[in-house]
Copies of this chain bind each other. A is one copy, B any other.
Amino acid sequence: MSAELIRDVALVHFADKGYEGASLQDIATDVGIKKPSIYAHFKGKDDLFLHVANYVFQQEKRKMITLFASRKNYSLEENLVYFFDWIVEENKHNEHAKFLLRVSYFPPAKLYNEVMRIVNPFFADMERLLAKYMRKHSSVENDEKKYLDEALAYITIVDGAVIDLIFSGEDSYYRRVRAIWPIYFKGVQTINN
């Protein structure tokens, strides 16, 4: 399908240059068609962008759910450590991640509301997913607050490291992960006992 090809090419352009920086002319050229032909598949630039956004966020959510489902039988520690590697794999071809990050933090001004209707539920889902998982695997007794803090703390660490992954690359990312993980893990253990 040509529509999907246009979407995939547009994804790269939007990820690299942002909404305003990307041009339909360049996208069409990369696809191998003329600019007005895009209008046979999408209503316009906005429509194309929102299609890409919906596609990326939905796909990313599906990946995450699959990951959590596939690793039910590992310990919490194993999974939290594994997750750092998984992120790197997912970002090897990192146009999806780049698009996701850019759209989340710097959405096109004119599409702010529409974009946030996609972004906000996504992050809420992610946080809920992780919190649910942590509650299930928590070693401490049902202290509601404690594992929510653990989840939020973990997310903070991941954010801080991922920023570096996308910006400075894998080596810099792992330097951060190796620095923070032992401290986080020891800290959680010590507090829980």
Of residues 150 to 187 in A, which have CB atoms within 8 Å of B's CB atoms?
A: 150, 152-153, 155-161, 163-164, 166-167, 175-176, 178-180, 182-187
User: Which of B21, B108, B109, B160 interacts with A108 by CB under 8 Å?
Assistant: B21
Decide if A152 touches B167 in the complex (CB within 8 Å).
no
Is the CB–CB distance between A152 and B166 below 8 Å? no
- One complex includes copies of this chain to the number of 2
Interface centre among A17, A109, A164, A187 (most CB of B within 10 A): A187
CB neighbours (8 Å) of A186 from chain B are 186-187, 190-191
In this assembly, does A86 line the interface, its C-beta being within 8 Å of a C-beta of chain B? no
Contact, CB under 8 Å: B156 / A180: yes
Min Cβ gap A169→B in Å is 13
Q: Which residues does chain B contribute within 8 Å of A178, judged by CB atoms?
A: 149
Q: Is A138 an interface residue (CB 8 A)?
A: no
Q: Which of B104, B160, B179 contacts A160 (CB 8 A)?
A: B160
Closest to A166 in B: B105
Prevailing SS type, chain A contact patch: helix
Other-chain residue from B18, B175, B184 in contact with A187 (beta carbon distance below 8 A): B184
- CB nearest neighbor in B for A173: B156
In the complex, whether A74 has a CB less than 8 A from a CB of chain B is no
Residues of chain B lying within 8 A (CB to CB) of residue A163: 105, 159-160, 163
CA A83 to CA B20, docked complex, whole Å: 35
Complexed CA–CA distance, A71 and B2 (Å): 60
Q: Which residues of B contact A20 (CB under 8 A)?
A: 17-18, 20-21
Which residues on the B side are within 8 Å of A149 (C-beta)? 178-179, 183
- Which B residue's beta carbon lies closest to that of A109? B17
Q: Which 5 A-B pairs have the closest CB atoms?
A: A187-B187, A160-B160, A183-B187, A156-B160, A159-B160
